[in-house]
Amino acid sequence: MMLPNAVPVSWYLILSAILFSMGVAGFLIRRNIITVFMCIELMLNAVNLSFVAFSYELKKIDGQLFTFFVMVVAAAEAAVGLAIILTVFRHRMSLEIDDVSSLKN
Amino acid sequence: MSPLNLMLVVPLIGFLICLLTPKENEGLARTIALGASLLALVFGLGMIGLVVAMPTGFQYQTDIPWISTPNIHFHVGVDGFSLWMVLLTALLTPLSILASWKSVQHRANLYYAFILLLEFGVLGVFVSLDMFLYYVFWEISIVPVLFLIGMWGTEQRSAAAVKFFLYTMTGSVLMLAGIIYLYTKTNTFDFTQLALLTANIPHEARWLMFLAFLFAFSIKTPLFPLHTWLPDTYASAPTPVTVLLAGVLSKMGTYSLLRFCVGLFPNEAKEAAPWVAALAVISIIYGALVAIVQPNIKRLVAYSSISHLGFVVLGIFAFNRWGLDGAVYQMVNHGISTGALFLLVWFLEDRRGSLAIADYGGVARVAPWLSTAFMVATLGSIGLPMLGNFVGEFLILQGAAKASFVWAVFASVGVILSAVYMLWMYQRVFFGEIAESIAGYMPDLTLRETAVILPLIVLMIWFGISTTGLLEPISAANGALLNLIEGPARVAVMK
Amino acid sequence: MTESQSLWLIPILPLIGAALNGLLGRRLPKMAVSAIAILSVLGSFLWVMKCLSALGNLDTPHAEHYFTWIQSGALEIGVDFMVDRLTRIMLLIVTGVGLLIHIYAVGYMDHEEGFSRFFSYLNLFMFFMLTLVLAKNFLLVFVGWEGVGLASYLLIGFYLKEKFAGDAGKKAFIVNRIGDFGFSLAMFLIVITFGSLDFTKVFEAAAKMPVEAHAGILTAIALLLFVGACGKSAQMPLYVWLPDAMAGPTPVSALIHAATMVTAGVYIVARASVIFDRAPIALDVVSYIGLLTAVVAATIGVTQYDIKKVFAYSTVSQLGFMFMACGAKAYSSGIFHVATHAFFKAVLFLGAGSVIHALHGEQDMRNMGGLRSKIPQTFATLCFAWLAISGVPGFSGALSKDEILIAVHGKSEWMFWVGVVTAGITAFYVSRAMFMTFFGEYRGKAHPHESPLSMTGPLWVLALLSAAGGYLMRDLVHSIGPETASHGDHGSLEFIIVAAGLLGIGLAAFMYLMNRGLSQSVAKALGPVYRLVYDKYRVDEFYDAALVRPIQAGSESVLWKGLDVLLIDGVVNGVGRTASAIGGILRRCQGGHVPSYATWIVLGAALVLIGFQLVGGGR
């Protein structure tokens, strides 16, 4: 089943790159933990997009498999991450990422 | 299971049980620890018969593959040399536990657990016939010491613990490099095979390995100038642990020097012998001279230990039967006499809470039995005939004199100096007016303390008079080593 | 090979006594303690007698092997005892005099704290001393050698609360250790040269070696053995411990530091005579050291006021005479003097002990005087010893001293004359001590009382032996070994020696009986020389400044605090500090802020990508 005006794979990749860069930028710039967290999800999904695109292009199942793995991990990560965020908020009454710096020492 | 394996397993099980005992109940932990260490001693004593009958080969061998690539085995066994190191360890551990009996209150279960882990590690070092396994045990033995010093030590304990750890780690990292290098050249970690295979390794590579081993063991022994961790460590460790450090752990260094440095790289060892012997002689005199001026009893005995271990190294590198026999004999007897000395120092410390010589005086008049025991240990340490150390020192010096008379002359100066520092210390602590500070605090030996010190004193006298039971297997094992080094088997491989 | 005589019983009996008294003595009554001590020594004395009578005239030495002590490679050292004619003399002296002194000590130590401890040590000494003389190899001699040193150390420091006693004991042990250093080196050379330490094997092999005109291996062995002898027998320059050793109880001074232990050095030289005979250089050294010691110690003896110190220096001086005999190859004369000296010096010390006991601890002769009538028995016995040491004919001291000096005359004339003058000085200072103590009027405060029978009894036995002992033992001693030059006509020499002794007595009588003030003015006239001698030539001070202090200061400031702490630890800590400094810079990167970590990750990922592009790895 070939689409007549098939979108070239490069478009998907460009979109994926844009989404990923947005994720990175948000991750670095934003101070709210929830936002940062969403940026991480954005990056993951950007990668998923490129996986799927490649899978379609190369007619191989591997890419889609990877996507499922990433989605599972992302779901687990969301569960754990949100739990941590919740606990941090309870302790510090703040979601500012600069307030959470006890990693040092 | 062979008694050797049981002997290894018992302290390990004891360690795990002690960890699990509630920390408020220090009585339970120490009873378990004492029981486990005594059980290990029983298994050890049970091995004497067979090993003494056939001292030249490894008895009670167990050889189980552990990891397939690289080819690592759980390979253990004892011969007429290592057996005595094993027994020394098994003897001093229960005595050390019994000496700590009442004094360790804080987290006692951990304390006794670590002592058992230490015993496990040290025993493993002495019986391992697989170089990798040996390395693993070597590292296991370091960890509990670190905690014992850091958690229950005295003055500047964390600094001392770190110093000990860094010094020892430096050595063991080099040793690990040497072991791995050895494996890449021979494809085996098995000591019994390596002893023949090392002859095939290129000359430069052998030198590198030899030096790596020498460096590691010289730190452990210790040999001048790698000794400065020792006084701090010995002084900072809780004294019952110092007993094990001085009595047993230092023997890991000299044992490995003889077994691995000399056993695997005899030609290099022979070439390096003048240099190592020179360092040994320096250690002897240096340790003695510095011991003279120590104001602290424990540090004094620590420096004396450096001096005595210098004798052992000198004997090993004299490279003849007398020197080797004397060195091994002295290892056993130094363990006994230094162990006894540190135990007695601990009894003093336990009563008075001080280690400064200046805080004592006139103890002989208030605690005659304690003083008598201390006197015997002192005399043993300065090598008086009819006590064990004399036999070892005599053979070492005789061997050294055969190798080079000058060594014997300088080393004998150390014998004079040993009388100087020990008797001067003894006099200041035990003779003279009774110091005010000890007047009411110096009861004589208790029953428990007598039980701790008496076995060592009996052994000192026994090994001083009836030497053949101990010396014959040692001599046979050394004869086998000398044959292996110079004999046809190795020469054949070399061609 | 004669049948076994169980020689081991001889030393073991006192050892059992020592063990009993040491372990149980504190709970036993004094009677039991003294019974154990005396009976054990009596037992070994009787056993000696029994063995000697069974062994006859000992044409060949009698040896017994018990068990192998040390075996390593080709070296085998057994616990072997033997009795030959030399051992016979030593056994008789040690057990005989030892027994008398044990009996004496029961009375002397009656009031002292640590009664059982004392006898335990004293028996221990007997054990080691008997081991020393019975041993059939050098290492077993060394056991006794170090052992008597230990017993001496314990007994000198017997008065625990006295600091100087402890100091003196320690000094004795350490100086002896310097001697032992020589002894052990000699053993190493013997093993390397002869492959054994057994007397029979070593001396047989040595007898086949030629006399060494130049220093060789035998000379080295002989000299090293002599270093050991110098330590034990208090010869120059190692004599300094003996005068201090008088800090111990007086019976100890008599037994260990006069009669027996200090003669061990003479014994070992006589024992190794085969080696010394083949090392003329070593023999010369022995002679010179002996002579020098005799002179130096005698002059110091003249100036001392402590009665025990006088006799201590006299012992050192007499030991010098014995070594002079050995140096002149007259070993049997040396041993003869060991025997006679054991008798009269024991009397001198025990008598001095009796005086001190009578005066409740007073030792300064300036606080004595006129005791002749107050303690007549002590005085009478001391007279025997006095005349014996002064060399008055008819007493045993004269016999052995004449022999020695005649033998020395055969070796070198000038040494003979120096020896004669020293003999005169000896007579002078012993007479001085006698006159100051027993004549004139009493200058002290205490009330003197005669000693009990347990003390005067042994004194009388020994006093009679000082007179007649020489005649009794002469043949026994001369059976030891090579005939000396004493036979033949030496009338004129003997006359000179006797005259010197009498002159010494006369001079002392003139200075201390007739003209009391004279000695003071002589001392004043001599000024600094007198001070120097009175201060014992300041040898102790010299050792202190030249050896003890430099070693202590050097060890403390250079080795310990310099090398150990500053240099080695400095380097080690320097490595540590460098590592932590680098770490200190790196830790700034770890601010704990998640975004900054993320930035590093992104930057790192970018770097990796750029790196891949640069090396062309992307494709």
Q: Are residues C557 and C524 in the same domain?
A: no
Q: What digits encode the pLDDT tens for the residues A50-66?
A: 999 999 888 888 889 99
Interval B354-363 mean pLDDT: 83
Which H helix or E strand runs over B74?
strand B72-78
Spatial separation of the C-alpha atoms in residues A50 and A73, rounded to whole Å:
17
Considering chain A, what is the average pLDDT of its residues? 86
User: Of residues C572 and C1, which shows the higher confidence score?
Assistant: C572
CA distance C364 to chain B (A): 24
The residues that bridge with C117 in the sheet, in sequence order, are none
Please report where in the chains the tokens 């007997």 appear, as a residue: C126
Q: In this structure, is residue C374 part of a structural domain?
A: yes
- Assess whether pLDDT exceeds 80 at residue A100: no
Considering chain B, what is the average pLDDT of its residues? 87
- Assess whether pLDDT exceeds 50 at residue C544: yes
Q: Are residues C545 and C524 in the same domain?
A: no
Q: Are residues C287 and C402 in the same domain?
A: yes
DSSP class of residue C158 equals T
- Assess whether pLDDT exceeds 80 at residue C407: yes
User: How high is the pLDDT of residue C24?
Assistant: 84
Q: Kindly report which listed range (B1-5, B140-144, C573-577) carries the lowest average pLDDT score.
A: C573-577
Spatial separation of the C-alpha atoms in residues C34 and C148, rounded to whole Å:
21
Assign C448 to helix, strand or coil. Answer: coil
Assign C110 to helix, strand or coil. Answer: coil
- Assess whether pLDDT exceeds 70 at residue C133: yes
Spell out the residues 6+ positions from residue C281 whose beta carbon is closer than 8 angstroms to its own: C212, C214, C215, C219, C223
Q: Are residues C394 and C483 in the same domain?
A: yes
C-beta of residue B218 within 8 angstroms of C-beta of residue B172: no
Spatial separation of the C-alpha atoms in residues B67 and C271, rounded to whole Å:
66
Strands C62-72 and B72-78 come out as unpaired
Interval C533-543 mean pLDDT: 74
**Residues of B with Cβ-Cβ distance to C67 under 8 angstroms:** 466, 468
Q: Which of C551, C476, C387, C529 lies closest to C92, judged by CA? A: C476
Q: What digits encode the pLDDT tens for the residues B54-65?
A: 888 888 888 888
**Residues of C with Cβ-Cβ distance to A98 under 8 angstroms:** 593, 595
Q: Which of C303, C308, C333 lies closest to C321, judged by CA? A: C333
CB-CB: which of C587, C591, C598 is closest to A101? Answer: C591
Strands B59-67 and B72-78 come out as antiparallel
| Crossing angle of helices B405-430 and B368-381, rounded to 10° | 170
Q: Are residues C480 and C563 in the same domain?
A: no
Q: Which of C165, C131, C161 lies closest to C148, judged by CA? A: C131
C-beta of residue C122 within 8 angstroms of C-beta of residue C34: no
C-beta of residue C445 within 8 angstroms of C-beta of residue C362: no
Spatial separation of the C-alpha atoms in residues C531 and C603, rounded to whole Å:
90
ipTM of this complex: 0.86
Whole-Å CA distances, B192 to B48, B77, B409 = 21, 10, 37
Q: Are residues C517 and C496 in the same domain?
A: yes
User: How high is the pLDDT of residue C536?
Assistant: 72
Spatial separation of the C-alpha atoms in residues B423 and B429, rounded to whole Å:
10
Q: Are residues C555 and C436 in the same domain?
A: no
Range of the domain at C304: 279-534
User: How high is the pLDDT of residue B494?
Assistant: 45
- Assess whether pLDDT exceeds 90 at residue B53: no
| Crossing angle of helices B157-186 and B229-236, rounded to 10° | 130
CB-CB: which of A24, A27, A101 is closest to C593? Answer: A101
pLDDT winner (highest mean) among C124-133, C147-156, C351-360, C431-440: C124-133
Under an 8 A CB cutoff, do B394 and C70 touch? Answer: yes
- Assess whether pLDDT exceeds 50 at residue A105: no
Interval B311-335 mean pLDDT: 91
Share of chain A above pLDDT 70, in %: 90
**Residues of C with Cβ-Cβ distance to B439 under 8 angstroms:** none
Q: In this structure, is residue C341 part of a structural domain?
A: yes
Q: Which of B475, B322, B311 lies closest to C192, judged by CA? A: B322
Assign C279 to helix, strand or coil. Answer: coil
User: How high is the pLDDT of residue B495?
Assistant: 39
Q: Kindly report which listed range (B381-385, C330-334, C591-595) carries the lowest average pLDDT score.
A: C591-595
Whole-Å CA distances, C112 to B367, C67, C102, C568 = 19, 41, 15, 52
Interval B263-273 mean pLDDT: 86
> For the whole model, what pTM was predicted?
0.84
Q: What digits encode the pLDDT tens for the residues C196-237?
A: 888 888 888 888 888 877 878 889 999 999 999 988 888 888
Q: Are residues C448 and C574 in the same domain?
A: no
CA distance B78 to chain C (A): 21
C266 token code pair: 């003479």
Q: In this structure, is residue C50 part of a structural domain?
A: no
CA distance A104 to chain C (A): 4
CA distance C594 to chain A (A): 7
Helices (H), B245-265: 250-256, 263-264
Q: Are residues C445 and C546 in the same domain?
A: no
- Assess whether pLDDT exceeds 90 at residue C374: no
C258 token code pair: 């006069």
Q: Are residues C371 and C509 in the same domain?
A: yes
Count of domains forming chain C: 2
Share of chain C above pLDDT 70, in %: 97
Q: Are B and C touching by the rule of 3+ CB pairs within 8 Å?
A: yes
Under an 8 A CB cutoff, do C592 and A36 touch? Answer: no
Spatial separation of the C-alpha atoms in residues C319 and C264, rounded to whole Å:
10
Q: In this structure, is residue C141 part of a structural domain?
A: no
Domain ranges of chain A: 32-92
Please report where in the chains the tokens 């083949």 appear, as a residue: C278
Please report where in the chains the tokens 């004449």 appear, as a residue: C402
Q: How confident is the model at residue C379 (pLDDT cuts 50, 70, 90)?
A: confident
Does CATH number 1.10.287.3510 belong to domain A32-92? Answer: yes
Residue type, C363: Q
Q: How confident is the model at residue C483 (pLDDT cuts 50, 70, 90)?
A: low
Q: What digits encode the pLDDT tens for the residues C555-567?
A: 777 777 777 777 7
In order, the DSSP letters of C8-75 are: THHHHHHHHHHHHHHHHGGGS-HHHHHHHHHHHHHHHHHHHHHHHHHHTT-SS-EEEEEEEEEEETTE
Q: In this structure, is residue C582 part of a structural domain?
A: yes
CB-CB: which of B322, B394, B416 is closest to C177? Answer: B416
Q: Which of C222, C478, C402 lies closest to C327, judged by CA? A: C222
CB-CB: which of C590, C591, C599 is closest to A28? Answer: C599
User: Of residues A41 and B353, which shows the higher confidence score?
Assistant: A41
Phi and psi (nearest 5°) for B105? -110, -40
The residues that bridge with B76 in the sheet, in sequence order, are B62, B128
Residue type, C306: D
Q: Which of B254, B241, B205 lies closest to B85, judged by CA? A: B254
Spatial separation of the C-alpha atoms in residues B87 and C576, rounded to whole Å:
37
Q: Are residues C426 and C374 in the same domain?
A: yes
CB-CB: which of A28, A102, A104 is closest to C595? Answer: A28
Spatial separation of the C-alpha atoms in residues C287 and C293, rounded to whole Å:
10
HSE-up of residue C83 (Cα within 13 Å, Cβ side): 28
Q: What digits encode the pLDDT tens for the residues B183-213?
A: 888 888 888 888 778 778 888 888 888 999 9
Touching partners of B (3+ C-beta pairs < 8 Å): C
Q: Are residues C489 and C561 in the same domain?
A: no
Q: What digits encode the pLDDT tens for the residues B3-50?
A: 888 889 999 999 998 888 887 777 888 888 899 999 999 998 988 888
Q: In this structure, is residue C241 part of a structural domain?
A: no
User: How high is the pLDDT of residue A5?
Assistant: 61
Instruction: Inform me whether the C-beta atom of residue C566 falls under 8 Å from chain B C-beta atoms.
Output: no
**Residues of A with Cβ-Cβ distance to C594 under 8 angstroms:** 36, 97, 100, 103
Assign B62 to helix, strand or coil. Answer: strand
CA distance C572 to chain A (A): 25
Q: What digits encode the pLDDT tens for the residues C327-345?
A: 888 888 888 888 888 888 8
